Structure 1
Amino acid sequence: MLRFLLLLSVLCYLPGIPVVAQLSLRPVGQDSVLRSRPRYSLFRPVPRARLRPMSTDRPDATESAYSVDAGHFQVETDVVRLGQQRFDGEANQQLALNHANLKLGLTRQMDLQVVVESYTIQTEDAEQPVRRAGFGDVTLRLKRNLWGNDGGATALALMPFVKLPTGRSCGNQAWEGGLVAPFAWQLPHDWSFGSQLQASWNRDPEAQQHYLELAPTVTVGHDLYRTLGGFVEVAGAWDTRATAWVATLNGGPIWRVSDNLQLDLGINLALTQATETSYFLGFSFRR
């Protein structure tokens, strides 16, 4: 177990290696300016006039490297997501309703997240059709921004997580967990670049064993207008027990209705066999 945790830590620092050198370029005195700011917390919220621009973990698979401001609450949810998968003559479908990420800012650099799979309907069109429906699993996550929350072209965060097997009909009834390292880079002319490496300790219910999965992503975003933007992303996953990858091409528009409300829709298009293609509609709201 110790070796596994050390491996996760090393892997999740990899996305930030190319930009660590930029830390030495921070202007003299910037650290003292940051330290001189009021110490906001869960019980001493950041004033609304000083909130950072809202940053969300959705709609792409790449998580945000920025945390929610201290003392503020943010909801990000798939209002509806329809997934379809065909393999070896069998068709599987999954309809997810209100799979939400509930986020609470704890400090200037940290937030707590609870991901709730509110309701899921799964169908398998095999020789003996199967239908499952109900409440799914709950995932607890803690995001710690390492740098970039309060300015700069780049940002990096670490986010450990653990999945609780709360789903009865929908879920694998297993404890799982891992670590995510998201990286963000703000580019000129309203372009942005993001990447992450996620290392997960998953459970295979058929083989009755846990295994390590590595899931890298790369995403590019662009603001077309002040309130309208979009993204294109490639997301992959590798089961370390095998040599094959699974991958999707993701994309869609983003509409920033206000400083605290964002709507999005998009598609995750399967690039490999036995991979789900999904369509989604969601929103994010901050208070």
Structure 2
Amino acid sequence: MLRLLTFLSGVLYLHGTPALAQQPLQLTDRDSLLLSRQRYSLFRPVPRARLRPMSTGRPDATESAYSVDAGHFQVETDVVRLGQQRFYGEASQQLAFNHANIKLGLTRQMDLQVVVESYTIQTEDAEQPVRRAGFGDVTLRLKRNLWGNDGGATALALMPFVKLPTGRSCGNRAWEGGLVAPFAWQLPRDWSFGSQLQASWNRDPEAQAHYLELAPTVTVGHDLYRTLGGFLEVAAAWDTRAPAWTATLNGGPIWRVTDNVQLDLGVNLALTQATETSYFLGLSFRR
């Protein structure tokens, strides 16, 4: 039976199955991996020796198109983020601590994500200064990789999400949701390209109505050394309340401490008026 499976997997390979781009595996190892991954699940984790290279949805705004390996979890967090914005002469600031995305691999191509806004301090320098602080909203997301998880130069995923109004002081107390479609393309010479389109159904607390927001991104990454890389990204947003776009230019270095630990540092620089500029320090790790 084992010889038959090996023969059939070799036939599939000769008929055009894409080469494994993420890991330098030999043909027999690759075929065995693709066959065996079908059996892994939340309660039957992928062996650590066969984990895919860790792929994170940070520090850029473009989400990863790859899912977390079945039976493993991954944490990606803004350790600290400072945001500043000025609108019609009034300034506002937001200081966030441990806004974390906790991911759990469910199957070979699917993971569950819980985004938690652990603690936020918001201030507004208006005629009557405002200060809010506390726990924020929680967002539930389910990512389904469509292709590219285990090989090939490109990858695409779909990720629906829903935001729960758990925040009291820091939050709009409204249910929101949407869909994210991230795309990844591994380029030669240690370059990478990514993009996504996010459609969100958000709530305007002043108008007491929901509106549609579209947020496309384009990002380019490059490995400078084996453990040090960087990214440059343009992220934009448009919604049905006004015919104007908002945009930021994002960038920063990424340090891969180990195969399962990553640190990042960066800035989201406002390119348009009434857009927040933010500075952040991030940490990601996998178990």
Q: Where does 1:115-126 land on structure 2 (aligned, <5 Å)?
A: 115-126=115-126
For 1:103 and 1:87, locate their aligned partners in 2 and report how far apart those are by CA, in whole Å.
Answer: 35
Q: Does 1:191 align with 2:178?
A: no
Under a length normalisation based on structure 1, what TM-score does the superposition of the two structures give? 0.89
What SS does the aligned partner of 1:103 have?
A: strand
For 2:73 and 2:200, locate their aligned partners in 1 and report how far apart those are by CA, in whole Å.
Answer: 27
Higher mean Cα deviation, 145-154 or 37-46? 37-46
For 2:35 and 2:59, locate their aligned partners in 1 and report how far apart those are by CA, in whole Å.
Answer: 35
Q: Is the 8 A contact 2:219 2:234 kept in 1?
A: yes
Counterpart for residue 229 of structure 2: 229
RMSD of aligned residue pairs (Cα, Å): 1.6
Counterpart for residue 162 of structure 2: 162
Q: Is the 8 A contact 2:34 2:150 kept in 1?
A: no
Q: Where does 1:70-85 land on structure 2 (aligned, <5 Å)?
A: 70-85=70-85
For 1:78 and 1:161, locate their aligned partners in 2 and report how far apart those are by CA, in whole Å.
Answer: 19
Counterpart for residue 280 of structure 1: 280
Counterpart for residue 51 of structure 2: 51
| Aligned residue pair count | 263
Deviations 1:19-76 (A, max 9, x none): xxxxxxx852749947632410000000000000000001000000000000001000
User: Which amino acid in 2 is paired with 1:272?
Assistant: T
What SS does the aligned partner of 1:37 have?
A: helix
Q: Does 1:61 align with 2:47?
A: no
Deviation at 1:89, TM superposition (A): 1.0
Higher mean Cα deviation, 240-249 or 180-189? 240-249
Counterpart for residue 7 of structure 2: none
For 2:17 and 2:190, locate their aligned partners in 1 and report how far apart those are by CA, in whole Å.
Answer: 25
What SS does the aligned partner of 1:207 have?
A: coil
What SS does the aligned partner of 1:243 have?
A: strand
Higher mean Cα deviation, 29-38 or 77-86? 29-38
Counterpart for residue 88 of structure 2: 88
User: What is the percent sequence identity of the aligned residues?
Assistant: 90
Counterpart for residue 25 of structure 2: none
Larger radius of gyration, structure 1 or 2?
2
Counterpart for residue 9 of structure 1: none
| Runs of 5+ unmatched residues, structure 2 | 1-12, 19-29
Counterpart for residue 15 of structure 2: 28
For 1:282 and 1:65, locate their aligned partners in 2 and report how far apart those are by CA, in whole Å.
Answer: 19
What SS does the aligned partner of 1:156 have?
A: strand
What SS does the aligned partner of 2:49 have?
A: helix
Deviations 1:228-250 (A, max 9, x none): 00000000000123210000000
Counterpart for residue 10 of structure 2: none
Q: Where does 1:196-215 land on structure 2 (aligned, <5 Å)?
A: 196-215=196-215
For 2:84 and 2:16, locate their aligned partners in 1 and report how far apart those are by CA, in whole Å.
Answer: 53
Deviations 1:103-148 (A, max 9, x none): 0000000000000000000000000000000000000000000000
| Runs of 5+ unmatched residues, structure 1 | 1-25
User: Which amino acid in 1 is paired with 2:113?
Assistant: Q
User: Which amino acid in 2 is paired with 1:106?
Assistant: L
User: Which amino acid in 2 is paired with 1:214?
Assistant: L
Counterpart for residue 145 of structure 1: 145
Counterpart for residue 19 of structure 1: none
For 2:198 and 2:104, locate their aligned partners in 1 and report how far apart those are by CA, in whole Å.
Answer: 22
User: Which amino acid in 1 is paired with 2:137?
Assistant: D
For 2:123 and 2:165, locate their aligned partners in 1 and report how far apart those are by CA, in whole Å.
Answer: 20
